[in-house]
Every structure is written in structure tokens, then in C-alpha cells.
Amino acid sequence: MAAEGARKGRTHGTIVVDLERRRVLDLLPDRTAETLADWLRQRPGIKVVARDRSTECARGIGLGAPEAAQVADRWHVLVNMREALERWLAGAHARLRCTPPGPGAPAGTTPPGRRTKPFTRTRAETAARINRRRRWVALYDEVRRRHVGGEKLQAIARAMNLAVGTVRKHAYAESFPVPEQRPLRPSILDPYLAHLQARLGEGCENATLLWRELRADGFPGTAKQVHRWLAQHRTAPARSTPHKRRAEFVTNTPAPGGSPPPLPSPRRLSWLLVQPLAALSASGAAVVARVEQDREAASVAALGRRLTALVRGCGVGGNADPEAALAALEAWLADARTSGVRAMETFAAGLELDGAAIRAALTTPWSSGQAEGQITRLKMLKRQAYGRAHFDLLRQRVLPAA
């Protein structure tokens, strides 16, 4: 039997699947331990229950079927490992972005005629952006102050009306988490950049004149795009620039050699760090090599790859020896506990609390993969009802269809 929770918004439920006959046994209206325990007490004789990492589900199985062996789903273990890496990366991302490109990284040069940075913003847009940043920095400082003071993440989220994920990211971040610069989007001015570069080389810095020339060639935009582009390439202030602002003029000369490629987001980077090095593309391997110049990042990545390889080598299709897998798990737990990285220590403590189910996952072929497939079918039936599928109707449709 497999027990798996499903949720949509704030509505939780439990689907129970027979792993041997490959059919849905029942739908439970909530995800509480008591409901699952009552269902199990009415059906004695269940020997194995595969489940996700939910502590509530584990407690319900322990109350209703204490003699049954619980098996944690291997896929959920891998997801939890990647999420632990992502939480650590969210805090260390600002530091990792300061590392130089690793060996094999792209040169970072930009072909001629291509923009290297976004168009300049107006003074009002710049002021609004600064004010937004100040508000977020103030929120970050308040979250850090409350967290250092001993408040729980849930309590901070309720008091400050923030999402728990945002509170967690700010609480564990070493510095204010500045988002990575987004890639440049195509502009209607891009096909005409070569002409603008050529006219700029001839000494023409009259934005209105350049716009008229582009319009004669078919440019569909207004003069605003040309003014913004020229503002980044002027060698002297425009004649219309007020005298009090001429002292603020700075020549926008691009830095030689270009800039290093941006670092992927913590979510994407966590995925790269748990992959085998041989399976990475050239660009992915360069990113991993760049990040692993940081000693702590190299330690975290090594732990992530070790556990991922261990879990993938067990279960159906795996060739790992059960005794060797258990020994490898114990060694990994010992290394994670002494790694000095809070995210890894917390994750290892969670695995130890669920130790029997984790060890069963590495030594038995059972998993809750069938439950995941039945959840997909359940969602399809619910969508076919166009929002009118209350629990009783949905249960009647799922059970006969199974």
C-alpha cells in the first residue's frame, strides 16, 4: 500500500494505492494522522506502506499500523536534498557571484553591434527602483533581527505578513539577496544598432537626427529608444542638458574584455550541483567549477552528489548492494553532521529522524511512484468537472475508474 498526500491551495487530501494490484483503494478527505490511522485500523494485515516524507503521514501509519514497515519514497528524498541545497544557495548566492569564472567558462565578450546593458531609465524610474530596494532592505533587516532574537519563521511570517519562503530566504541569507540581472530582451532598435554605431563613429551625437535617419530606413519606434541608446554612448553632454547637470555627465565606455557570465538562480544552480559531473554540459561544468572555487560550496556540492548517486543506485533498476548502501548512508550522515553547514546538518537530522523509512528505501524495491501517477489521474478528473467536483463526487469517479 502507498499513502500519498495531495493539495490544491489549502485543501489537503490523501490517496491510498494498492502497490501489488496497482489500483486506488480509497480517498481520504484530509491529510491528518488520525484519519489515516482510523482507515488503517479497519484493514489489519498491511505489511508495507510506501509514503512521501510527510511527518503527519508517518505518524498516522505508526498509530494505525504499527507493525507495518514504512518505506520513504526515493524521489522525495532526492527532491528534499535539492531543496536543502537551494536554501543554502539562497543565502550564499551573493558571495558566490563574486567568484571569478572557472576554467572553460565563456570569455564574456559581446559581438559588435549588440547591446551590453539595458537602456538607461528616467530619473523618476530610477528613484522608484531605489525606493523599492530600500523597502526590501528594511524588510530583510527586520527579518534578520527577529530571527536572531529567537522568533520562529512561521511567527515572523505571520507578524510581517510575508510568505514563509521569503522569510526563510532572508533569515538564512548572509547579505541582502540581490537578484541576478535578467538577460536582455530583444528590442526593435537591435536591427539598426550597426547603423547607429557607424554614425556615432563619424561623430554624430544628435539623437533626433539619428532617429529621422532610422525612420527613413523603416524603424517603427519613436525617438525615445534612440535617446536612451545614445545616452549610454555619448562622449559629451547634449546641448539640451542643463548646466547644473553637466557636472554629472560620465562617459559610458564599455569595460575591456566584457563581463563574466551571470550565475544561475539558486534553484537552477542546485539542480546542477546534484548532477554527476560527467553528465553536465560544457557550460554547466564551467558554472559548477566556478562555484566550487568556494570551499564551503565545494563541500556542499560533494555531499549533494554523494547522496544523489547513492539513492539513484538503489531500488528498482539499481545495482547497489544493500549492506554497502547502508554503510554509505551512515558515512554520509556522519559527514553531513560535521560539515559545518547548517542546511546540511538540518537535512541530515531530518533523515535520521526518519531513519527506518530511509534505510528501507535503500534496501527494498517499494516506492510511492504509483501514487504519484494516480494523483495525476485525480487532477485530470477534477479539472474535467470544471470546479464542481466536491469530495464525494470525486471519490465516486476515482474509485470505479481505478
CATH code, 37: 3.30.420.10
Q: Is residue 110 part of a domain?
A: no
Tallying the residues shown for the chain, one arrives at: 402
Average pLDDT of the chain to the nearest whole number: 84
What are 32-65's pLDDT values in tens digits? 999 999 999 999 889 999 999 888 999 999 999 9
Q: Give yes or no: residues 69 and 79 share one domain.
A: no
What are 270-282's pLDDT values in tens digits? 999 999 999 999 9
Number of domains in the chain: 4
Q: Give yes or no: residues 79 and 123 share one domain.
A: no
Give Cα separations from 204 to 78, 159, 190, 249 (angstroms). Answer: 59, 57, 19, 18
Are 136 and 57 in contact, with CB atoms under 8 Å apart?
Answer: no
Query: Residue for cell digits 540581472?
Result: 181
Q: Is residue 386 part of a domain?
A: yes
Q: Residue 10: is it exposed, middle or buried by C-beta count within 10 angstroms (0-12/13-18/19+)?
A: exposed
Backbone angles phi, psi at 182, to 5 degrees: -70, 150
Q: Provide the pLDDT for residue 254.
A: 47
> Which of 88-97, 299-308, 386-395 reaches the highest mean pLDDT?
299-308
Identify the domain containing residue 230 by its residue range: 190-246
Q: Provide the pLDDT for residue 385.
A: 81
Backbone angles phi, psi at 239, to 5 degrees: -65, -30
Q: Provide the pLDDT for residue 313.
A: 87
Are 113 and 197 in contact, with CB atoms under 8 Å apart?
Answer: yes
Q: Is residue 54 part of a domain?
A: yes
Strands (E), 273-339: none
Domain edge (last residue) among 161, 185, 209 = 185
Q: Provide the pLDDT for residue 255.
A: 44
Segment 320-349 shows an average pLDDT of 91
Q: Provide the pLDDT for residue 159.
A: 93
Q: Is residue 205 part of a domain?
A: yes
Domain edge (last residue) among 185, 207, 236 = 185
Q: Is residue 253 part of a domain?
A: no
Q: Provide the pLDDT for residue 128.
A: 87
Q: Is residue 344 part of a domain?
A: yes
Q: Which amino acid is at 346?
A: T
Q: Is residue 149 part of a domain?
A: yes
d(CA 220, CA 189): 9
Q: Give yes or no: residues 276 and 289 share one domain.
A: yes
Domain edge (last residue) among 185, 212, 234 = 185
Q: Give yes or no: residues 240 and 272 share one domain.
A: no
- Judged against a pLDDT cut of 90, whether residue 174 lies above it is answered with no
What are 103-140's pLDDT values in tens digits? 555 555 444 445 556 666 777 888 888 898 899 999 99
What are 63-103's pLDDT values in tens digits? 999 999 999 999 999 999 999 999 899 888 888 888 888 65
Segment 345-365 shows an average pLDDT of 93
Element of type H or E holding 30: none
Q: Is residue 209 part of a domain?
A: yes
Q: Which residue has the higher pLDDT, 49 or 261?
A: 49
Q: Give yes or no: residues 159 and 143 share one domain.
A: yes
Q: Give yes or no: residues 344 and 391 share one domain.
A: no
- Judged against a pLDDT cut of 50, whether residue 204 lies above it is answered with yes
Angle at 81 between CA 80 and CA 82, to 5 degrees: 90
Q: Give yes or no: residues 66 and 91 share one domain.
A: no
Q: Give yes or no: residues 68 and 80 share one domain.
A: no
Taking alpha carbons only, the member of 344, 288, 333 closest to residue 310 is 333
Q: Give yes or no: residues 270 and 348 share one domain.
A: yes
Taking alpha carbons only, the member of 214, 215, 218, 224 closest to residue 193 is 214
Q: Give yes or no: residues 181 and 121 share one domain.
A: yes
Q: Provide the pLDDT for residue 297.
A: 94
What residues contact 373, with CB distance under 8 A and at least 6 apart? none
Q: Give yes or no: residues 286 and 337 share one domain.
A: yes
Q: Provide the pLDDT for residue 70.
A: 94
Segment 308-324 shows an average pLDDT of 80
Split at pLDDT 50, 70, 90, the class of 8 is very low
Q: Give yes or no: residues 53 and 80 share one domain.
A: no
Split at pLDDT 50, 70, 90, the class of 253 is very low
Q: Provide the pLDDT for residue 265.
A: 87
> Which of 180-184, 289-293, 395-399 reaches the highest mean pLDDT?
289-293
Segment 178-203 shows an average pLDDT of 80
- Judged against a pLDDT cut of 70, whether residue 299 lies above it is answered with yes
